[in-house]
Amino acid sequence: MNILYLLMTLAVVFILVFIGFYLWAVRGGQFDDLESPAHKILLDDKQTHKDKDGK
Find the mean pLDDT for residues 25-44.
Answer: 84
Find the mean pLDDT for residues 23-40.
Answer: 87
Those residues whose C-beta lies under 8 Å from the C-beta of residue 25, and which sit 6 or more positions away, are 31
Does the pLDDT of residue 34 top 70, yes or no? yes
Identify the band that residue 47 occupies on the pLDDT scale cut at 50, 70 and 90: low
Find the mean pLDDT for residues 8-27.
Answer: 97
The kind and range of the H/E element at 11 are helix 2-27
Does the pLDDT of residue 53 top 70, yes or no? no
To the question of pTM greater than 0.85 for the whole model, the response is no
Q: What is the pLDDT of residue 20?
A: 98
